[in-house]
Amino acid sequence: MFANFYQDWRVLVHKGRIGTMENTDRLIVALDVPTTEQAINVVDSLGDLVQYYKVGMEAFYGMGHAVLAQIAGRGKKPFLDLKLHDIPTTVARTVTTLCQFSPAFLTLHAAGGSNMLKAAIGAAEDWAGKTSQPRPKLLAITVLTSIGERDWVEIGYQSPIRESVLRMSVMCKEEGLDGVVASPREAAAIRALCGPDFLIVTPGIRLVPEEQGDQMRIATPSQALKVGANYLVVGRPIVAADNPREVVASILNDMKASGQ
């Protein structure tokens, strides 16, 4: 299955449907920092090298939505990673509230189930219809890249992580989500099942395995692109570096080397 998929994938790349984006438009830097000052320092120091910034729980709870305006004010695109997971009505109302901050992407947990996903996409589309503004792209978290097989069994899941990720991805596609956040290890199979237009965003990206930290399922930038990721999320290797620009340049080089 993987061999067939890989061939199909190469055909799509050659037809120009995929792989035409600039690498600077495919790297998302996770701004996992506690203060606006630190966040803005990172954005300013990376300048034109990066267009997307991921604002997660730490930044959003600590700084509020003002940080999104700061990012947008610098011509950058915010990726709002709040990993929503609640009853459908609560998630739908939250999506409506968050749409007004115009994030490029918004995340929610696929584990919230198909009714929650349906409610979320419905709310985003209603908001777009009422305001005539583009809605954020909705991405579902499948299984966190920090979760290993042992953790997965411990929580009570019986099918292997890979099978669960694939099942969740198909459910998300059927409910009309724009894509998923998943480990590079599962990206090729998701691509094969969900088609060329379904977005795959992969965290767990490391240039060197020694920087793995709490991530269990990691890959290099070029490996992630080769298996079909549209966007890569990188946090600590960039944000905690002495010279973040140098790390981003190495990541962009590695992305380029993938030929994708």
Which residues contact ligand C5P by CB under 6 A?
30, 32, 54, 56, 141, 144-145, 181, 203-204, 213, 215, 233-237
3-class DSSP state for residue 84?
A: strand
Q: For helices 161-174 and 184-194, what crossing angle results, to 10°?
A: 40
To the nearest whole angstrom, how small is the minimum distance from the Cβ of residue 57 to ligand C5P? 8
Specify whether 83 is catalytic.
yes
- Give whole-number Cα distances, 90 to 123, 167, 221, in Å: 11, 24, 36
To the nearest whole angstrom, how small is the minimum distance from the Cβ of residue 133 to ligand C5P? 26
Task: Give whichever of 215 and 223 is closer to ligand C5P, judged by the CB atom.
Answer: 215
Q: Are 2 and 188 in contact (CB under 8 A)?
A: yes
Measured in degrees and rounded to the nearest 5, phi and psi for residue 201 equal: -110, 125
CA atoms within 13 A on the CB side of 38: 15
Q: For helices 66-73 and 36-46, what crossing angle results, to 10°?
A: 20
Task: Give whichever of 60 and 127 is closer to ligand C5P, judged by the CB atom.
Answer: 60
To the nearest whole angstrom, how small is the minimum distance from the Cβ of residue 2 to ligand C5P? 21
Q: Are 162 and 204 in contact (CB under 8 A)?
A: no
Q: Look up residue 13 and give its two tokens.
A: 């790349």
Q: Which of 47, 98, 39, 52 is nearest to 203 (CA)?
A: 52
To the nearest whole angstrom, how small is the minimum distance from the Cβ of residue 121 to ligand C5P? 19
To the nearest whole angstrom, how small is the minimum distance from the Cβ of residue 85 to ligand C5P? 12
- Give the number of residues written for the chain: 260
Q: Which of 138, 139, 137, 143 is nearest to 167 (CA)?
A: 143
Task: Give whichever of 11 and 57 is closer to ligand C5P, judged by the CB atom.
Answer: 57
Residue nearest to ligand C5P (CB): 235
Q: Look up residue 104 and give its two tokens.
A: 């490029």
Task: Give whichever of 118 and 236 is closer to ligand C5P, judged by the CB atom.
Answer: 236
Measured CA angle at 258 (ends 255, 259), to 5 deg = 110
Task: Give whichever of 56 and 179 is closer to ligand C5P, judged by the CB atom.
Answer: 56
Instruction: Single out the catalytic residue among 83, 118, 137, 256.
Output: 83
State the catalytic residues. Answer: 83
